[in-house]
Every structure is written in structure tokens, then in C-alpha cells.
Structure 1
Amino acid sequence: MLTSFFGSTKPATLIIVICYMTVTYFLANLGAFTLDVNASEITRVSGFWLLYIFTMFVLNFVAQKNDLTKRNAFKIILFAAFTAAIPTALVNTQVLVAGMCVLLAIRRIISLRSGLAVERKIFDAAFWIGIASLFYFWSILFYGVLYFGILIFVAYNFRYWFIPIIGAGCVAIFKTCYVLYMNDNTSFIWQFYDPISFEFSGYNEGAILIAISFFIGIFAWTIFNYIRGYQAAAMKQAPVYILIIVIAGVGLTLTILAPSKNGDEWYFFIPALCIITANYLEKAKGKIFKDLFLGVIILLPFLILYLS
């Protein structure tokens, strides 16, 4: 029943996903509303809710435009459920902004395979990753995805390899000019870098540990199916499979290097996990099993919110 419902792209399906995201988002942000809540706080929380919804639409667009999944709602309900399972990300506005910027960059990187407007796409991707790094420093790792995209799609032109430096430099110049104009000091340069931390004690909290264990378990369960899909893919589509695996690898690396291990760092791994898991749901046999599998994923955030 669940897989049949979300296996289509009907308007009702999209409305259900938006309602699901709205409920989980505002439950996660319940602490922002106090007895003396004001209009500016309501506007701020509502604005980032719209950003959260917009990120889902970007993921859906990227997946359908580039044939990463079939035309269904699996990737968006998975995005809604996986992100809701880490409520710390939904209250961290910097993570929400950085995650959206990274997805916009990934959209441009994947579109490099068309061979059209390559310089502009590389610059745009580098620019978006640079913006993301201003909000969450370790999203800078996605420059590795950009260079990998150049390698597999447009490595034939040597000058393309220098464009990401220009894009990152533009972000650095704009940021420096803004800070000097507003504060007249350069201390932000040293504050920009976040140190690497291998302190995982934050994962001792039950709710976070359940969510992360679930992510790792699903990834381990579905990645082999995705690799088989790569082996069977047409020559034109095969590089995209590799790129998604690289994006997942970068997302996992980010979770290891992030200075604060409170769960929100997994937000950057989720888009790739959604694509890989959606492919699994499309190809897996056994309707009852798939319904149970998807049902557990959908219900997981409410268990997390209850334990938080």
C-alpha cells in the first residue's frame, strides 16, 4: 500500500510529504516557541521551514531531471523521514542553508555530462559550495565532488580544472568585503576554519545513536543493489552512479571530520542516501517487505522525537 502510494507522482502524494515535513519540522522547533514568542521569531522559523521544503523540491528536481530514480515520490518521502530523524539539523539554520547550497551545487555538477555551458556550471557549483562553507565549514569537502565531476565528464579541457578556484575566490572576496565594510576587522578569516574532531561522545545519546545506526544499516543494505545497478547501467548513465557513490562517501567523511557530533552533520549524507534507497525500493521484490521497510522509515522520526 505505502509503496504503491509513493510509487506515483500524484499531487496528493506531494501534499502528504509536505504535511509530513511540516509536522516533523515544527515538532523539532517546538522549543523556539515560548510564552513570549514574537512575530520575528515566527517569521524566522517559518522562513526556514520554506527553505527546508524548497530543498526537498531541489532534490526531487535533480533526481528526475537526471534520471537518478524513476518518476516516483520515494526520494522525497525518504528525504522527509531521514531529515526528520535528526531533529538537531532541523533547528540548525546554518545546516539547512548549507545543505540547500550543496544540493544546488550537485545539480550543476551532474548536469556537466551534457557538455553544454560547462564553464558556467563549474563556476556555479564552486560558488554554491563556497557559500555553503560559510555556513558549515566542512561542506567545503564537496569541492572534491566537483573535481570528480570534472574528471569523469569534462576532463578533456585543462582550463576547467582552474574554474573552481575562481568560484571559491569570488566567495572569499565577497565575504571579505562584506566583513570589512561591516566590522572593519579580519578576525573572521581565522574563525572560518572549523577544527577536525574525532570526539564521538555526542553519539551516546539514545535518539542520535538510533538514527545514525539506522542510516548506516540502510546504506549497507542498499549500496550493493546500487552498485549492481551501475554495472547494468548504460554507458551514458554509469558515471552518474559513480558520482552518487562519491557524494555519499564525501557525506560520510564529513560526519567523521565535523567538529560537533550532535547528529546534524548527517544532513549532508542524506540526499545521496535517499537516491540509493529509492533505487532499492524501485527494484526490490516482495510488496509486503517493501511496505514494512518504508513504513518503519516513515515512523522512525516520531520515535526519535519521543526519545529526544
Structure 2
Amino acid sequence: MIKLPTVSLAAIGYEKFLWKNITELLKTGMLIIGIYYCRKIYKKLDDLQKKIDKGEQDKYDFQKKFEYSLDKIKATIDKGEQDKYKIKQEKDNIAQEKDNIALEKELNKEIEQLKKEIERKKAQFKSAWREIPLYADWRKEEFQTVKLTLDAATAHPALFLSEEGRIVTWQEPCQELPSSPERFVSIPCVLGQLYVSSGRYFWEVEVQDAHSWDLGVCRNNVARTGRVTMSPQNGFRVIRLYDGEYWGLTSPETSLTLKEKPCRVGVFLDYEAGDVSFYNMTDESHIYTFSKQAFYGGLRPLFRLWSSDSGPLVIVQVEENTTML
């Protein structure tokens, strides 16, 4: 029980201070103390509430940041998946492109093989047709048949030409002929009047008992003096009969085997195709064809005799055909 300091109060002039008032004052002091402590508690509670509110805000902010981070991670994952899908597509495209390239190479290889096979079949077919009878006669329909004569200005002095210019024979002694840059001097040749720079032409030459001769075509500007070698490289595409043997004057020469000795030789000239073919018109079989090589410049028919016992060469006057294919 609290003892009130009544003496001290009286000493200071509060003699009439009643106990009731003291009690009320005490109550008032307790109330003040209570209010003080309550205010402190309220303040602490308020601080705590603020901390709680701040914690809730931090929690909310953290959750937002977490959700944002999750969204970014998800977006990154999604982008990664998209990139992965694109990379897969690119890999698939590259693989498909490789397959296409491999397939294209394979197809090109097959096409090349087919082309070679077609060329081989064509060559076989062409060779087979050349070997059968009547092929030369059938080919004449494709070519222009010409009334060919010999060009006296080109004749070697040892060669004698008939008046109509269709027969060439060996003559001894040699004739005295005027000098001309067109005349053959080193080899006993004469050219035909025909000058070919395009188209297809055919003529026949009767060889009969002649046993040494050259027949074919040559460029108009071949060498006529000095050492002359008859070969395609030098402008000649010629076949030869010499000492009972037949030759194609290639480089080196090609030996030819004929089933039957020709009495007439047909010459087929296809300028655009680069083709010169020879046929035995006796049995209409193929003798020889020079491999296709482009012609350069004009071409002339060529005739050659070797000696006085060579025998004559006679240009056959066949019916002229102006059909051109």
C-alpha cells in the first residue's frame, strides 16, 4: 500500500488536500502512465505494422520481380526453342540440299552415260547402215549431184586432161605448161572445178583398172610446191590405192579392207557436218569416212595419179540432182 506524503503536502500549503483528490490524482497519474505506455505500445505496433506492410510490399515486389524473371526465363526458353527449331530446319535444309546435290550429280552422271550410250548406238546404227547394200544409193538422195569437170589451171605437168575435162591420164614426157600459183608442181594432182563452202555434194569417179590413185577433197589453199604430206592436218581428206592396198590418209595412215575391188568410187561431201565419206559404188558398200572435223575455207575435189602405168581416172557424168537437204 502506498504511503502518501501528506506532511510534505501540508507544508507546501495543501492542508486541505483531500484523500479523494489524491486518489483521483493517483488515478490520473496511472492513466497518464498507461497512456504513455499505450502510446509506446501503439508506436511499436505501428512500427511493426509498417514493417509488416513493408515486408508485404517487399514480398509483392519480390514476387513481381520473380514473375518477371520467370517470364524472361520462359521467353528465353521459348526463343531458345525457336532458335533450336530454326537450327533444325536449317540443318534439315542443308541435308536436303546435300541430298539434292548428290541426286543432281547422280542424274548428271546418268545423263552423261545415256548420252554416251546414244552416241555409241548412233555410231553402231550409222556403221551398220553403211555396211549394207544400197546405202550409198539411198544417201545420194540427200546430196546435190554435180556435173564435175577438171580444172586445167591446177593440173601437174605430168597429167593430161581430156578435152571435155572429165578424164585425167599420165603423160610422158611432161607437158610444157605456163607457170601458175594454182598449179601442182611437187605432187601429180589436179583439182575439180567445184568450189564448196557449204551444202552437200556427191560425185562418182570411175577407177576401173587404175591401180595407183588418190581421191578425195582438199582445201583450196593447200601447198602445191615443196614437200607436201597429204593429211587432214594439212587440208587433205583423201583415200589411196597403191600397190594393191587401200589406205585412208590420216596421221598415221589407216589401212582399209574392202570386200570387193571398186570400179567406181562415190564421194559424199557434207560441209556443215565436217563429213567426207567414200563408197564402193560397185556393191554400194562403205569404204571409209573421215572423223567429223569442222572445215575451214573452201574445198575442192582432188585427183592424183602416181605413174605412167597408173591408168586413167574418169569423172562419171551422172544425172544432175539439185535437191539439197
With the shorter chain as reference, the TM-score category is under 0.3
TM-score (norm 1): 0.25
Give the structure with the higher percent strand: 2
TM-score between both structures, scaled by the size of structure 2:
0.24
Q: In proportion to residue count, which structure has more helix? A: 1
Q: Look at both structures and tell me which one has the larger radius of gyration over its CA atoms.
A: 2
